[in-house]
Copies of this chain bind each other. A is one copy, B any other.
Amino acid sequence: MNTPALPPPGARERILRAAHDLFYRDGIRATGIDRVIAESGVAKLSFYRHYPSKNDLVLAFLEHRHARWMAWFEGALARHGGTPQALVPALKEWFANDGFRGCAFINSVGELGGAVPGVKEITRRHKADMAKAITRLLPHDPASASAYRQRRLLATDLATAVDGAIIRAQYDGNPKAALASLRRILRSLTQSA
């Protein structure tokens, strides 16, 4: 688990990385186990020792993705000023990535629905954490309980708009329209508050 030095990444890690790239790029159902095994350069038996079934790997993929994405998200928001307005340039970075294929969680829920237990739960957790990160961007008045509630609702609304923008950026050729739309919604929501 905790390897102080950096020996060659180890089978478990290599499998997870390969699965992450393939699942995110091609989709989960479209990616066979054999493909993950070939890509990670691991033996089949090693694979099944670490992940007894594909479903286990899918859940591990989502957990991994969650940690990785949240770290990027919080870093990007901080880099762009740590205000609500930072959402737009942060997402712009992501959307501009060559490998951008939308939100892995939204895609997984859409693809697997209720077929793989746990996917919706992880997605809810992921989106709750995303909303929490957005909440931290908002100014707050610790004295007022009603302001506290307002702040949470505003963060929820921003999160809804962010989800919409992610989707739009995914099916539109370019992300400009999605970002412009998000910018306007953001302005409207934050000025009226």
Contact = CB atoms under 8 A, between A and B. Distances in A.
B184 A157 contact: yes
A75 interface: no
A109 B115 CA distance: 18
Contacts of A185: 157, 160-161, 185, 188-189
B29 A171 contact: no
Contacts of A192: 188, 191-192
Nearest to A127: B171
A81 interface: no
Interface residues of A, number: 44
Nearest to A105: B171
Contacts of A160: 161, 164-165, 168, 178, 181-182, 185
Contacts of A177: 156
A78 interface: no
B26 A113 contact: yes
A88 to B, nearest CB: 13
A124 B170 CA distance: 10
Interface of A: 26-27, 29-30, 101-102, 105-107, 109-113, 115, 120, 123-124, 127, 153, 156-157, 159-165, 167-168, 170-172, 177-178, 181-182, 184-185, 188-189, 191-192
16 contacts: A26-B115, A27-B111, A105-B171, A107-B111, A110-B110, A127-B168, A127-B171, A153-B184, A160-B178, A160-B185, A162-B164, A163-B164, A164-B165, A184-B189, A185-B189, A191-B192
